[in-house]
Structure 1
Amino acid sequence: MKLHIARLQEAVRRMVEDRGPYWAPDPSDVHLADRVAALREAGGTDTAGRSAAGRYLAEVIVAAVALANSYGIPLQQAFNEASWPADLTEGSLWPERPLPLPQAVARLEAAAAPVRRTLAFDRSDARQGSDPSVVALRRLLPGLLTAAMAGFASHEELTDQLVRLLESTRSMDRAAEESEFDPSRAESVRIIRPVQMETFCPFAQKSVLWGPPAYDEDRSFGDNMKASLPAVRRFLRIQDRDVIDGFVYAFPTRVFGGTFDDLTQLFRDFVEFLHRNLTEAAPAGLDPAIAADPEWFFVLEGEECFISVFAPCYPHDHSRYMNGVEGHFLFMLQPEAAIVRVLTKDDYHPRSEAIRQRFRDGFQRYPLADLEIDRFLLPLRADDPPVRWYELAPTR
């Protein structure tokens, strides 16, 4: 069997899709700490101890790979950047004398500690940049994975444990009650997928998106938005290290109505809530006079963000067409950090113009408004004047 990190990553993706987050109900950093502690206790030299240790090592590996999937980290690239072979049968990973298990556990503990610290910081309320010891997961996960692999005598032994572990999940019930919501598997991420696949934007298909918990129609707009804050804050603070391309909100039209006027008012309320809760200007709210300034940009917790609005009321020849998706308004936050990762400052304007030309070539006109704030919610027809949604009074 050819053991390759990219194939393992795809296998774990399928398992999580089929059964739910592997480490449920524990948060990922708690799960890692628990598995390492269990490994330390089971790390005897007898057959039973070695067998249990192999299981725990495999669980650490699967949990680390699932984390990479959640954060959109291509592990083959991360391994290459760390100068580790992506082919897990490579001889350099398997010395003639395997590391004794106690030493392997100590190495694993050292590799897991910064991963847990980064995950805990992402969920915390600490100010961005307040902990200089926090490191990007894409730089940490290869070390964690290779440390766990060091506890095996060979890649054949590792493969056997991984096969048995993945097979064992067939009998697991789908995780129904998770203590940690996984934003990479949000309902809104599923809803927007057809738009991702069909849009003329060349970067959309491979974009990694997060979202909030599904909209609860039994709760108010404000309560639903409050429930989204932990996930969106985590998304924003990640931009300093690992980059997720967008954060998508999905609002059901059966709750808010489906007309363009309904969309406009909802978007005004949406931006007002984010502005009051995620900017230093709170509780002042969005000032239309300031927002209409040519130098204005939407900044949430220190991250400059763009918002793309998609809605079923946009026609087929519109750049914000939903490609058949019905029943929801979609608001996607796109940090500038994610945009300049693919459109560098040197070629930003020519490449962004080239993208708009792709839309025009596909019979979807995509004019560019003069003001940043007029580029979020586009009018129904390309020739219509900008939508002054920010001049409306908030209602929620």
Structure 2
Amino acid sequence: MAPIVAGTLCPFAVKARMRGAPAYDEGRSLRANLEASVPAFTCFTEDTRTEELDAFVYRFPRSAVGDDINRLARLVRTLVEVLLVHDPVDPRVPARRDILAARWRLSFAGVDYFAPVFSPVYGKEHSRYTYGVSDSVFVLMQPNSSFHTRLGSRATKIRGNIRSRFEEAGQPYPSTELEAHKFVLPLNPEDNPVNWYDLPPFPRDCIAERGLMAS
């Protein structure tokens, strides 16, 4: 994440307090890796109640995730499903109707999260550019409490200033109201939102997954 932290126009990135998911095991499926991360993510979530933590970082080898937006969408679809199914407070299966609701947030153990995806598929003129990192895809699980702490009482003004900085640098955000459409962004701001919730998740079986990646 270091090149992204150093390169991004977000003024809070360099001060962010992050933890990482367990190292990706390429001998296991993507879904199995996500399931193995749940205890560490649960611990992180509990600690956000008493510590000012900013992100839980998932790093995936590009070779395991793929090279296009649909693969990123399936990654998020799988991540959301694994986390919700293993939620220690409210285990559930993600429902499209809920995800498309105006007030929906990705919630785990009672904590709301924002989950932006950063990938080499995004070019230099994109807000999710990886600044030279070409072999990895990242998903940042950012607790909403981090935004509240960092932005304070001037949240609306600060958000507007940050958005303006990105636009002036040629990395505009797409205009979207739904939270779900902010996780995986389209390649171009004017493109349709990425409907990750409509795609099938990656399977748990490693052989089946490799077959899908090759197809």
> Is the Cα–Cα contact under 8 Å of residues 268 and 392 in structure 1 kept in the other structure?
yes
Q: Which residue among 72, 96, 116 is the counterpart of 1:288? A: 96
Which is bigger in relative contact order (C-alpha 8 A, separation at least 6)?
A: 2
Which residue of the partner structure matches residue 347 of structure 1?
154
Within-5 A mapping of 1:69-108: none
Q: Which residue among 363, 367, 372 is the counterpart of 2:179? A: 372
Q: Deviations over 1:42-74 (max 9, x none)?
A: xxxxxxxxxxxxxxxxxxxxxxxxxxxxxxxxx
For 2:22, give the aligned amino acid: P
Distance in structure 2 (CA, Å) of the matches to 1:350 and 1:193: 27
For 1:370, give the aligned amino acid: E
Structure with bigger helix share is 1
Q: Which residue among 325, 331, 339 is the counterpart of 2:133? A: 325
Distance in structure 2 (CA, Å) of the matches to 1:290 and 1:281: 14
Which residue of the partner structure matches residue 99 of structure 1?
none
Q: Deviations over 1:86-112 (max 9, x none)?
A: xxxxxxxxxxxxxxxxxxxxxxxxxxx
Distance in structure 1 (CA, Å) of the matches to 2:65 and 2:116: 18
3-state secondary structure, aligned to 1:271: helix
Distance in structure 2 (CA, Å) of the matches to 1:200 and 1:329: 19
Which residue of the partner structure matches residue 264 of structure 1?
73
Across the two proteins, how many residue pairs are aligned to each other? 203
**Structure 1 position 225, deviation (Å):** 1.6
Within-5 A mapping of 1:295-310: 295-310=103-118
Which residue of the partner structure matches residue 4 of structure 2?
195
For 2:154, give the aligned amino acid: D
Which residue of the partner structure matches residue 146 of structure 2?
338
3-state secondary structure, aligned to 2:15: coil
Does 1:222 pair with 2:26? no
The change in CA–CA distance for 1:394 and 1:222 in structure 2 (over 3 A counts) is closer
The change in CA–CA distance for 1:357 and 1:279 in structure 2 (over 3 A counts) is farther
Which residue of the partner structure matches residue 357 of structure 1?
164
> Is the Cα–Cα contact under 8 Å of residues 279 and 299 in structure 1 kept in the other structure?
no
Distance in structure 1 (CA, Å) of the matches to 2:101 and 2:55: 25
Q: Deviations over 1:119-158 (max 9, x none)?
A: xxxxxxxxxxxxxxxxxxxxxxxxxxxxxxxxxxxxxxxx
Distance in structure 1 (CA, Å) of the matches to 2:108 and 2:161: 28
Which residue of the partner structure matches residue 211 of structure 2?
none
Distance in structure 2 (CA, Å) of the matches to 1:249 and 1:289: 26
Decide which moves more: 272-281 or 294-303: 272-281
**Structure 1 position 280, deviation (Å):** 4.3
TM-score (norm 1): 0.50
Distance in structure 1 (CA, Å) of the matches to 2:194 and 2:106: 17
**Structure 1 position 395, deviation (Å):** 3.2
Which residue of the partner structure matches residue 193 of structure 2?
386
**Structure 1 position 350, deviation (Å):** 1.6
Distance in structure 1 (CA, Å) of the matches to 2:202 and 2:93: 13
Give percent identity, aligned residues only.
34
> Is the Cα–Cα contact under 8 Å of residues 96 and 197 in structure 2 kept in the other structure?
yes
Within-5 A mapping of 1:165-184: none
Distance in structure 2 (CA, Å) of the matches to 1:327 and 1:285: 31
Distance in structure 1 (CA, Å) of the matches to 2:17 and 2:167: 25
Q: Which structure has the greater CA radius of gyration? A: 1
> Is the Cα–Cα contact under 8 Å of residues 9 and 165 in structure 2 kept in the other structure?
yes
Structure with bigger strand share is 2
TM-score (norm 2): 0.90
Structure 2: any 5+ residue segments left out of the alignment?
A: 204-215
Which residue of the partner structure matches residue 48 of structure 1?
none
Distance in structure 2 (CA, Å) of the matches to 1:314 and 1:250: 16
> Is the Cα–Cα contact under 8 Å of residues 211 and 247 in structure 1 kept in the other structure?
yes
Distance in structure 2 (CA, Å) of the matches to 1:278 and 1:316: 36
